[in-house]
Amino acid sequence: MQEFHPKTIIEPFRVRSVEPIRFTTLAERETALAQAGYNPFLLHATDVLIDLLTDSGTGAMSSRQWAGMIASDESYAGAASFYRFEAAVKDITGFRHVIPTHQGRAAEHILFAAIAKPGDVIPNNTHFDTTRAHVEATGAEARDQVIAEGRQPHLIHPFKGNMDLAALERTIAEVGRERIPCIMLTVTNNSGGGQPVAMANVRAVSEIARRNGIPFIIDACRFAENSFFIKLREEGYADKAPIDIARELFSYADGCTMSAKKDGMANIGGFLALNDDTLATRCRNLEILTEGFPTYGGMAGYDLEAIAVGLYEALDEHYLRYRLRSIEYLGDKLSKAGVPIVLPTGGHAVYLDARAMLPHIPATEYPAWALCNALYLVGGVRGVEIGSVMFGLQPDGSERPAALELVRLAFPRRVYTQSHVDYLAEVILAVNAQRNELPGYRIAWQAPVLRHFTIRMAPIRS
Ligand SMILES: *Cc1c(COP(=O)(O)O)cnc(C)c1O
């Protein structure tokens, strides 16, 4: 008999514990959305059928993670759970010092407080919003230097998250190495659509950093998804295990920041990992101020256990194939039906292009917000607007349209099955069929900063 190679990529797990989802009527959703000020962030999660607001901390844990949690050590100092967590992080990243934090932004807070000051510049392919906020809080400049292809939503390129190496060299020449406390690389590039970075690019950034004596730090939130993209798309990696690809990736860097709510497969947690002894001591001292003792750092022992197991599960090849395929599967269905999306699909989300889909709604009436709300009204699906509501308000109070009007549909890890994705495609196509009738929105009330979280909107009915 021959080895059977099925075309169907199945969920690589069976369901052991279920969580019911609540079906609502259109009238119920209309009421819920109106009560939420037409802001999906303000909906009660129980009024949502398929929740794609974020992939952060929303994944399902495995029976092995739960087993680890039950057997956790909650000692204040030197808990066995910390040593299991530390061993896993060291085994995968190879970094000498592991500093646990309650989530990714806490690792960023500690790192930048330790190394950055006013007048400094930190280059990155694209800073995630919390990364940018922590860089800017120190008075330094967060400079995005992704390749030009990474800024074009419909252009196909295997590694749209790559750093623009020439731009990086220009930045170093212009500001001087002494004003660049580190170079960062975000894998995958979340704000750029979850697009991967090639190993060759990681190697080249590392070479530039070392030649200039600048530390190189990886924002590792989706390191496992990025490693699998390298396996699928980069020459020489097809036969390598994801964990070995991840180890090579980290070997080029001097440290990393991590949100364990992503590829840590946990509901909370994170870490900062570093090679430099002096810097690590400085960071541990800062950690004690804001996070806690260095062997728990803002987490319970059971969180440390969940991450120690989750980091390996995120690198499982069957899991990664299912994960990337479920996102690509939705992307393929939408593309075939003519729905405009960001291409190619990335590692954790599908992005709908609302400007292309709703040309009758001007940026001043927030087309991506309109599309996001239509998905909820039609199918109980919650996504998130990444457009002019999120980015349009300028520090001086004026309004400027965002570069792109997108709705991000982020997939929680191991939560939804293929039939959920089929349903999702049906909802999006139903919305697409009535796209010309969708109303734009106006702002009814807004906060002065990060307004999208609490904003209240109203549909413009003509
Ligand atoms: C989520 C995320 C962070 C911040 O992590 P939190 O756990 O949400 O604080 C930083 N960088 C990237 C790329 C992320 O996706």
DSSP letters for 418-454: HHHHHHHHHHHHHHHHTGGG---EEEEE--SSSGGGT
Do residues 73 and 185 share a domain?
Answer: yes
Do residues 309 and 322 share a domain?
Answer: no
Tell me the sheet residues that pair with 185: 218
Distance 222 CA to ligand 1 centre (A): 9
Q: Using the 3D structure, point to which of 253, 285, 313 is the last residue of a domain.
A: 313
Cβ–Cβ < 8 Å for 123, 175: no
Q: Mean pLDDT, the chain, as a whole number? A: 96
Do residues 291 and 324 share a domain?
Answer: no
**56 Cα nearest atom in ligand 1:** 1
CATH at 213: 3.40.640.10
C-alpha dist (Å) from residue 267 to 78, 81, 139, 284: 23, 16, 31, 23
Residue 117 is assigned to a structural domain of this protein? yes
Distance 156 CA to ligand 1 centre (A): 26
DSSP letters for 350-380: EEEEHHHH-TTS-GGG-HHHHHHHHHHHHH-
Residue 304 is assigned to a structural domain of this protein? yes
Do residues 247 and 388 share a domain?
Answer: no
Q: Is residue 267 scored above 90 in pLDDT?
A: yes
The whole-number pLDDT of residue 191 equals 82
Distance 30 CA to ligand 1 centre (A): 32
Q: If you ran DSSP here, which 8-state letter would residue 179 be given?
A: G
The whole-number pLDDT of residue 393 equals 86
CATH at 401: 3.90.1150.10
Largest CA distance in the chain: 71
What is the number of structural domains in the chain? 2
The per-residue b/e assignment along 266-282, b for 16 or more CB within 10 angstroms, e otherwise, is bbbbbbbbbebeebbeb
Q: Provide the total of helices (H) and of strands (E) in the chain, helices listed first.
A: 16, 14
Residue nearest to atom 11 of ligand 1 (CA): 128
Please report where in the chains the tokens 């349903």 appear, as a residue.
423
Q: Name the band, by pLDDT with cuts 50, 70 and 90, for residue 190.
A: confident
Residue 6 is assigned to a structural domain of this protein? no
Q: Name the band, by pLDDT with cuts 50, 70 and 90, for residue 173.
A: very high
Distance 95 CA to ligand 1 centre (A): 20
pLDDT in tens, 375-402: 999 999 999 999 999 988 887 888 999 8
Distance 8 CA to ligand 1 centre (A): 32
Do residues 269 and 371 share a domain?
Answer: no
Mean pLDDT of 265-276: 98
**107 Cα nearest atom in ligand 1:** 9
Question: Which residues contact ligand 1 via a Cβ below 6 A?
Answer: 56, 103-105, 128, 130-131, 186, 190, 219, 221, 259, 261-262, 270
Q: Is residue 107 scored above 80 in pLDDT?
A: yes
Q: Using the 3D structure, point to which of 279, 313, 347 is the last residue of a domain.
A: 313
Q: Is residue 33 scored above 80 in pLDDT?
A: yes
Do residues 68 and 200 share a domain?
Answer: yes
**268 Cα nearest atom in ligand 1:** 7
Distance 129 CA to ligand 1 centre (A): 8
Give the structural domain span for 323: 26-55+317-459
Do residues 186 and 114 share a domain?
Answer: yes
Q: Using the 3D structure, point to which of 313, 341, 357 is the last residue of a domain.
A: 313
Residue 307 is assigned to a structural domain of this protein? yes
Contacts of 257 (CB under 8 A, 6+ apart): 104, 107, 108, 111, 131, 217, 218, 219, 220, 270, 271, 272
Distance 102 CA to ligand 1 centre (A): 11
Q: Is residue 161 scored above 80 in pLDDT?
A: yes
**105 Cα nearest atom in ligand 1:** 9
The whole-number pLDDT of residue 395 equals 77
Residue 13 is assigned to a structural domain of this protein? no
Do residues 401 and 362 share a domain?
Answer: yes
Q: Which two tokens stand for residue 231?
A: 């396996």
**186 Cα nearest atom in ligand 1:** 13
pLDDT in tens, 303-330: 999 999 999 999 999 999 999 999 999 9
Mean pLDDT of 181-195: 93
Q: How far apart are CA 74 and CA 79, in angstroms?
A: 6
Distance 422 CA to ligand 1 centre (A): 29
Do residues 75 and 185 share a domain?
Answer: yes
Residue 20 is assigned to a structural domain of this protein? no
Q: Name the band, by pLDDT with cuts 50, 70 and 90, for residue 450.
A: confident
Residue 70 is assigned to a structural domain of this protein? yes
The whole-number pLDDT of residue 210 equals 98
The whole-number pLDDT of residue 222 equals 98
Q: Name the band, by pLDDT with cuts 50, 70 and 90, for residue 257.
A: very high
Residue 81 is assigned to a structural domain of this protein? yes
Do residues 247 and 112 share a domain?
Answer: yes
Do residues 83 and 187 share a domain?
Answer: yes
The whole-number pLDDT of residue 461 equals 86
The whole-number pLDDT of residue 375 equals 98
Do residues 37 and 174 share a domain?
Answer: no
Residue nearest to atom 6 of ligand 1 (CA): 104
The whole-number pLDDT of residue 449 equals 78
Mutate to test the pocket of ligand 1, among 108, 132, 184, 190 (most ligand atoms within 8 A of CB): 190
The whole-number pLDDT of residue 291 equals 95
Cβ–Cβ < 8 Å for 184, 202: no
**260 Cα nearest atom in ligand 1:** 7
Cβ–Cβ < 8 Å for 159, 99: no
Nearest to 455 by CA among 406, 404, 400, 384: 384
Mean pLDDT of 89-98: 98
Distance 237 CA to ligand 1 centre (A): 27
Q: Is residue 462 scored above 80 in pLDDT?
A: no
pLDDT in tens, 238-255: 999 999 999 999 999 999
Residue nearest to atom 3 of ligand 1 (CA): 104
Q: Is residue 119 scored above 90 in pLDDT?
A: yes
The whole-number pLDDT of residue 448 equals 83
